[in-house]
Structure 1
Amino acid sequence: MSRPTEGDQEMPLVSHLTELRTRLLRSVVAVLALFAGLFYFAQDIYALVAAPLRAYLPEGATMIATGVASPFLTPFKLTMMVALFLSMPIILHQIWGFIAPGLYKHEKRIAVPLLISSILLFYGGMAFAYFVVFPIMFGFFASVTPEGVAMMTDIGQYLDFVLTLFFAFGVAFEIPVATFLLIWVGLVDVATLRKSRPYVIVGCFAVGMLLTPPDIFSQTLLAVPMWLLFESGVFFGSLIRRRAEHDAEAEPEAESEDQPPAPQP
């Protein structure tokens, strides 16, 4: 067998880098195209995102812009983030197209549902924050405003605050995917996770305490879904582990059936 030349060793790396660059460019183009289409509606998008707070502002109060360029830059920043969030399916599709050739067939069967579910869960976490958590949170903030203090929030600070919460709730709703992956790759087993359930519940309430106003209702509103998402990850992880163990037990039997019978003396 002839020894591979230096060029033969470099070509695969070059082709991989070329494909990576192509897929990165496609992702960037997708984000910029969405941003270009949404930029005309930047003011309307910001008004929609600010609606949960504006609903609880005192009569006659408005949001303010303390920076000279804030009326333009804040909706601009929000529109860019919206374009990034909306293009996540395209970006993940490009990532999948890059790594899929290196996966086994059974890994692809698991990876595709995980990618789809992770996108839906992230969007679900953002929707949960907007429609459920924000009204409760801003209603609480408005109710505890000291007398004589006008509640007039800066638009830039509000945007940074809600983007942080959107990202936090989106990541928190990825708990089932993370739990499933931990079980699937064998880092932890189902029994260990079930034994750790009390610590997980305490951790969920601790996260709820950090991300929500200091009242038990809003903390519970985040902690309970996080705990249920953890339980769903454990449930589906246990199903896939049982199936993998069943397949592993069936393989030796199939191999023994395929072997020819031993010759008779």
Structure 2
Amino acid sequence: MAVDADTDDGASSLIEHLVELRSRLLRAIVGLAIALFALLPFANRLYGWFAQPLLDKLPEGAQLIAVEVASPFFAPLKLALFAAVLVTMPWLLYQAWAFVAPGLYKREKRLALPLLVSAVGLFYAGCAFAFFLVLPAVFGFLTAITPDGVAMMTDINAYLNFVLVIFLAFGISFELPVALVILVLMGWVTPSQLREWRGYAVVGMFVLSAVITPPDVVSQLMLAIPMCLLYEAGILAARMVAPKADADAEAEARDGP
């Protein structure tokens, strides 16, 4: 009888979790849909603003073109969806947090919420850095090296895909401090190990920047250098949240016997 009672309790708990998960997913989807429908009337205007970094660098009279018949419709729609995800990201992450928070310990909740807020802020910072600094520099470089007699006429869909990749590359790369802190909290590495591996990390970040950015030196440097600075910031943050035993060990290592 006790086994049957435990089985019933387990099944009931699983059903409750599934109901809660469905509720959180529906709330997330509704929030995303509201943002998308609010942005759709401004999709073309949004795309015009989004294309400004390239338009500012093109020769006078040059413009973007639509190679595919449906590109003038789908490109702004895709951008509106991406913008809706960016706008509702705090709401989407809150729904995920509200689902997992009841199962966390008090200390885990105290650390998880700042990490979540930091992750969102750093992603936004990475996208803003890419849009306002990296893209103008990249397009200025690319238009400057265009051979004589070649007209730079970019398809609107190709431009959108290019910029979205840049956004994701910089947004995710700016999450480096949060990733380092999580690794330290999980006990996989210590702040002292992160300092010791600094040289290898710098080389790896330059290689990664060369892989995920366009084939130009400007964008590679503009991703690698901030990543190096963020790596240092991650070490400092990791030292602040490292378990006390690791912090004491590091202090003894610095002070010597």
TM-score normalised according to structure 1 size: 0.88
Which residue in 1 is equivalent to 2:10? Answer: 9
SS at match of 2:82: helix
Residues 1:208 and 1:4: Cα distance change in structure 2 (over 3 Å):
same
Q: Any stretches of 5+ residues in structure 1 without a counterpart?
A: 248-265
Which residue in 2 is equivalent to 1:100? Answer: 101
**Partner letter of residue 99 of structure 2?**
F
- In terms of Rg, which structure is larger? 1
| 1:64 is the counterpart of 2:62 | no
Which residue in 2 is equivalent to 1:138? Answer: 139
Which residue in 1 is equivalent to 2:123? Answer: 122
Aligned partners of 1:80 and 1:103: how far apart in 2?
Answer: 32
Which residue in 2 is equivalent to 1:23? Answer: 24
- Displacement of 1:191 in angstroms is 1.8
- Displacement of 1:151 in angstroms is 0.5
Which residue in 2 is equivalent to 1:153? Answer: 154
* Larger mean Cα displacement after TM superposition, 205-214 or 20-29: 205-214
Could you give the per-residue CA deviations for residues 155-209 of structure 1, whole angstroms, max 9, x where no partner exists?
0000011011101100000000000100111001122211110111112222333
**Partner letter of residue 139 of structure 1?**
G
CA RMSD of aligned residues (A): 1.7
Which residue in 2 is equivalent to 1:173? Answer: 174
Question: Quick check: 1:137–1:213 contact (8 Å CA) kept in 2?
Answer: no
Aligned partners of 1:142 and 1:121: how far apart in 2?
Answer: 30
- Displacement of 1:224 in angstroms is 1.5
Q: Any stretches of 5+ residues in structure 2 without a counterpart?
A: 249-257
Question: Quick check: 2:185–2:243 contact (8 Å CA) kept in 1?
Answer: no
Kindly tell me the number of residue pairs found equivalent between the two proteins. 246
Which residue in 1 is equivalent to 2:216? Answer: 214
* Larger mean Cα displacement after TM superposition, 171-180 or 195-204: 195-204
Aligned partners of 2:193 and 2:244: how far apart in 1?
Answer: 19
Residues 1:129 and 1:111: Cα distance change in structure 2 (over 3 Å):
same
Aligned partners of 1:32 and 1:102: how far apart in 2?
Answer: 29
* Equivalence map 1:69-84=2 (5 Å): 69-84=70-85
**Partner letter of residue 61 of structure 1?**
A
TM-score normalised according to structure 2 size: 0.91
Which residue in 2 is equivalent to 1:258? Answer: none
Runs of 4+ with deviation above 2 angstroms? 1-9, 207-210, 212-215, 217-221, 242-247
Residues 1:139 and 1:179: Cα distance change in structure 2 (over 3 Å):
same
Question: Quick check: 1:140–1:213 contact (8 Å CA) kept in 2?
Answer: no
- Displacement of 1:245 in angstroms is 5.3
Could you give the per-residue CA deviations for residues 94-124 of structure 1, whole angstroms, max 9, x where no partner exists?
0000000010101111000000000000000
Could you give the per-residue CA deviations for residues 206-255 of structure 1, whole angstroms, max 9, x where no partner exists?
2333314433x5433221110111111111111222546579xxxxxxxx
SS at match of 1:188: coil
Sequence identity (%) = 47
SS at match of 1:43: helix
